[in-house]
Amino acid sequence: MLLPPEDMVGHYRDHQGASHATGGSNRGGGESTKKVRSAARQRPSNQAKTGHTLADDTINASMLGEHLDPAGNRTAHSACYTPLGNGEACHSELYRKKRYLQKHLRTFMDYSQEVRTETVFQLLVDRYYADLDAAGLPVGPPRWHYYVHTPEGGVRDVCQHVFLLSYPLSKNTLLRLQKRIIDGCTMAHAKKQEGGVAACTGSVTSNLAMKSLSVIGWYQAYAIQMGDYMPDDDQLIVPRRSRCEEYDEYAAALGDEAAGYKHYCDTVRTAPELAFICRARKLLNFQHCKTCVNLNEKVKQAIASKNADEIKRAKATRAAHHQSTRAERYDN
């Protein structure tokens, strides 16, 4: 199996994420499924992994920025490449309440392994790029921009170490996903025809399941970047855009692997993995942000241009806007 050179992932610095929003949801919620998860695949090692990830000691360590492995070894977050404005390391008060991290990890570990890897893959798509200076010119080589979105802190830039505390995957898996992103793949999992199994878990059988999986992964990443948690709630609210507009972004990102419009809509509405995401009701205040409308428009134009760098830039700019508007709210 091919792994990219260590320095491809290394300890890159980071930034980015997104969101601002407010308001309630109009999501029906609770409808039943179109599951991608295949319970039969839960291997014991997987169960053990979940148990360890959710153990109190592990979570306490994570709150401190430490990775606790099953053998009891602790790895602290060493040099931080994405410190907070006050100089603290990026894990500092990332989850101010332990229960938020517990809830997040429980939700994440409850997904099938396919959904977990696909979600992380989609979170990192378009996140490998050089920083831009004030004039919009690239500074330095491209790097991975990791981020985490918490109910209290909004979107935070974090280092790889801290990203993996929130999205527990092995480093090898992460490297595989990143290599696929750099190679231009649009999903974590290879299709069978592609010589499949090796890619990641190789367990997704049907084409239809693949397509549902692509929607679940993509929509989670989209909501995490564009959405906003309600105060004291675990619901993530995404700004209201037409489903067509959302779908166009999805379809452009997934290319040949994209589900059809109806399948996309059905999956967004019914997948249990997306149940915590709601669309904002019409006419809420944040619907009227002109910058949002402009930046969505720019993303659309970039997609139409089919220029990968332009698409990345347009998405990064939009994400930065969402992240900064939210940061303002938290500072108040």
Choose between 80 and 251: whose C-beta lies nearer to Zn ion. Answer: 80
Give me the 282-301 binding string for Zn ion, x by CB under 5 A, dash otherwise: -------x-xx---------
The structure tokens listed for 306 are 């089919």
- Output the smallest distance, CB 291 to Zn ion, in A: 4
Q: Which stretch binds Zn ion (CB under 5 A): 2-10, 81-89, 196-204, 300-308?
A: 81-89
- Output the smallest distance, CB 153 to Zn ion, in A: 14
- Output the smallest distance, CB 91 to Zn ion, in A: 6
Q: Which stretch binds Zn ion (CB under 5 A): 35-43, 73-81, 144-152, 187-195?
A: 73-81
Among 159, 165, 188, 278, which residue sits at the site for Zn ion (rule: CB under 5 A)? 159
Q: Which stretch binds Zn ion (CB under 5 A): 21-29, 152-160, 256-264, 300-308?
A: 152-160
Residues 6+ apart with CB under 8 A from 185: 199
For the purposes of burial, counting CB atoms within 10 Å of the CB of 128, is it exposed (0-12), middle (13-18) or buried (19 or more)? middle
Choose between 161 and 179: whose C-beta lies nearer to Zn ion. Answer: 161
Q: Using the structure block, give the residue that is written with the tokens 């996903």.
A: 177
323-326-328 Cα angle (round to 5): 110
8 A C-beta contact, residue 139 and residue 130: yes
DSSP track, 111-124: S-HHHHHHHHHHHH
Choose between 36 and 292: whose C-beta lies nearer to Zn ion. Answer: 292
8 A C-beta contact, residue 85 and residue 16: no
Choose between 11 and 49: whose C-beta lies nearer to Zn ion. Answer: 11
The structure tokens listed for 49 are 């992994």
21: contact with Zn ion by CB under 5 A: no
Q: Which stretch binds Zn ion (CB under 5 A): 119-127, 151-159, 187-195, 257-265?
A: 151-159
- Output the smallest distance, CB 295 to Zn ion, in A: 7
- Output the smallest distance, CB 90 to Zn ion, in A: 3
Among 90, 175, 200, 316, which residue sits at the site for Zn ion (rule: CB under 5 A)? 90
- Output the smallest distance, CB 79 to Zn ion, in A: 8
**Alpha carbons 87 and 128: distance in angstroms, whole number:** 24
Size of the site for Zn ion (CB under 5 A): 8
128-132-137 Cα angle (round to 5): 115
Long-range CB contacts (within 8 A, 24+) of 282-286: 282/240, 284/21, 284/22, 284/23, 284/240, 285/22, 285/23, 286/20, 286/21, 286/22, 286/23, 286/228, 286/239
Choose between 37 and 326: whose C-beta lies nearer to Zn ion. Answer: 326
- Output the smallest distance, CB 144 to Zn ion, in A: 13
Q: Where are the beta strands (DSSP E) in the chain?
A: 67-68, 74-75, 128-132, 138-144, 146-150, 154-158, 228-229, 236-238, 277-279
The structure tokens listed for 312 are 């990345």
- Output the smallest distance, CB 9 to Zn ion, in A: 14
Choose between 194 and 328: whose C-beta lies nearer to Zn ion. Answer: 328
Q: Which of 164, 157, 273 is nearest to 218 (CA)?
A: 273
**Alpha carbons 269 and 213: distance in angstroms, whole number:** 14
Give me the 257-286 binding string for Zn ion, x by CB under 5 A, dash otherwise: ------------------------------
Choose between 224 and 292: whose C-beta lies nearer to Zn ion. Answer: 292
Q: Is the dihedral of CA 25, 30, 35, 39 positive or negative?
A: positive
80: contact with Zn ion by CB under 5 A: yes
- Output the smallest distance, CB 262 to Zn ion, in A: 30
Q: Which residues bind Zn ion (CB under 5 A)?
A: 80, 82, 89-90, 159, 289, 291-292
